[in-house]
Amino acid sequence: MAAIVLCESSQLYNILNQRVRVSRVAECNYLCLIDARTEAQYNSGHIITARHAKWDNSGSLVLPLNTEVEGMRYIIVYDVNSSSVSGSGTAHKCVETLAKVSLYPVYLLSGGYKQFSALYPFFRTQRILYTIKELESLPSYPVEILPGLLYMGDYKQATTPFIVKDLKVSAFVNVSDQSSIIFEKGHRSVLDMRVADSTQANLYSSFDKLCMFVGPRLKAGTSVMIFSSRGVSRCSTVAMALLIGHLKHSLKDAWAHVLQCKSNMQPNRAFVQQLSDWELHSLGQRLTDISEPNY
């Protein structure tokens, strides 16, 4: 039997926003999101891509059509506002049933629909069915590194007005190759750290400036978006540098956190070395062995 664990709202947000070439929610074995509230509640509004939990006459859960639960990477169930894996409600019955057949942990959304929809109202919908093409085309938001405060994405996301508005972004860190003029015209603060995604590029020299720019904004509760051209190498380097310099994480912990937020993040080798040097500068010692294969 698979483990049953809580899933925080920010974790589900990031799962919904994973993207390689297209949105990962289009993959048949990626995400099964189940709404265990009443049918009336589901029809009045639910989290995007969620299916309503249905039961047969014997009280057994009826799985969504064409859903292979056994190998599904993420199975997430939510009700109105559950905050514990122990309980006897419909959502708990769902996760217990699914855990018997899943190869991966089955998640119960902490705070349920009430909390998630309050934090991310732009992910509420009444739509039930999608074609594969429509799922592939779903807009992906920047991943959330620090809930409600720090986001990491690509240039397209940073220049999409509804995304910036929905996330209430007040400042940007530009690590792309593109100019920051468009952001300055929007009356938002911008830190320009433009470098090429190259092993010859130097981001280390800007890490102090990064922490001085972002740190006070995080303390003030205002949101910041870090972005590079594709949102994979340079921006993940900068996000980790901020976690190390501002929050005093080790490189190992910062790496694990950013990887959990964005599964295809990958700084180039030179940037990894610069992060190791930054760990030494910020924490007084090298705590992370970057010769290990995962770096």
Backbone angles phi, psi at 132, to 5 degrees: -60, -40
Q: Given the structure tokens 């380097």, which residue do they identify?
A: 237
Residue 291 lies in a domain: no
CATH number at residue 166: 3.90.190.10
- Domain-located, residue 104: yes
Confidence class for position 52, pLDDT limits 50, 70, 90:
very high
Q: Do 69 and 157 share a structural domain?
A: no
Last residue of a domain, one of 86, 106, 136: 136
The dihedrals phi and psi of 111, each to the nearest 5 degrees, come to: 85, -10
User: Where does a domain end: 77, 106, 136?
Assistant: 136
pLDDT in tens, 112-160: 999 999 999 999 999 998 999 999 999 899 999 999 999 999 999 999 9
Indicate whether 277 and 260 sit together in one domain: yes
* E runs forming strands in the chain: 4-7, 31-35, 46-47, 51-52, 54-55, 61-62, 74-78, 106-109, 124-125, 143-146, 150-154, 169-174, 189-192, 223-228
29 and 52 co-located in one domain:
yes
Question: Residue 63: pLDDT above 90?
Answer: no
According to the model, what pLDDT value does residue 69 have?
82
Residue 292 counted as domain residue: no
Name which residue leads in pLDDT, 231 or 65: 231
Q: Are residues 159 and 128 in the same domain?
A: no
Q: Write the DSSP symbol of residue 264.
A: T
Q: Are 69 and 174 in the same domain?
A: no
- Residue 211 to residue 232: CA distance in whole angstroms: 20
More confident residue, 260 or 69: 260
180 shares its domain with 202? yes
Per-residue pLDDT, averaged over 202-229, amounts to: 95
What percent of the chain has pLDDT above 90?
Answer: 77
Helix-then-strand count for the chain, H and E: 12, 14
Is 293 inside a domain boundary? no
- Work out the pLDDT band at 58, boundaries 50, 70, 90: confident
* pLDDT on residue 184: 58
- Give the pLDDT score at 269: 93
Whether residue 15 has pLDDT greater than 60: yes
Residue 18 resides in a domain: yes
Establish if 236 belongs to a structural domain: yes
Output the domain CATH number for residue 12: 3.40.250.10
How far does CA 151 lie from the centroid of its chain? 9
Same domain as 89, residue 32 = yes
- Give residue-wise pLDDT tens across range 75-100: 999 999 998 998 888 999 999 999 99
Q: Please indicate, yes or no, if residue 295 is contained in any of the structural domains.
A: no
- pLDDT range class, residue 68, cuts 50, 70, 90: confident
Question: How far is the C-alpha of 280 from the C-alpha of 282, rounded, in Å?
Answer: 6
Tokens of 31: 């995400």
- 258: tokens are 């950013």
The residue among 97, 114, 136 that closes a domain is 136
Give me the pLDDT at residue 282, please: 97
Dump the DSSP string for 124-164.
EE------HHHHHTSPPPPEEEETTTEEEEEHHHHT-HHHH
Q: How many domains does the chain divide into? A: 2
Residue range of the domain that includes 197: 143-283
Does residue 289 fall inside a structural domain?
no
Cβ contact 35:48 at 8 Å: no
Q: Any idea what DSSP says for residue 23? A: B
216 and 265 belong to one structural domain: yes
Do 242 and 170 belong to one domain?
yes
pLDDT digits (tens, 9 = 90+) for 159-209: 999 999 999 999 999 998 877 656 655 667 899 988 888 888 899 999 999
Query: Same domain, yes or no, for 153 and 243?
Result: yes
- Asked if residue 165 and residue 36 are part of one domain, the reply reads no
Residue 275 and residue 149 share a domain:
yes
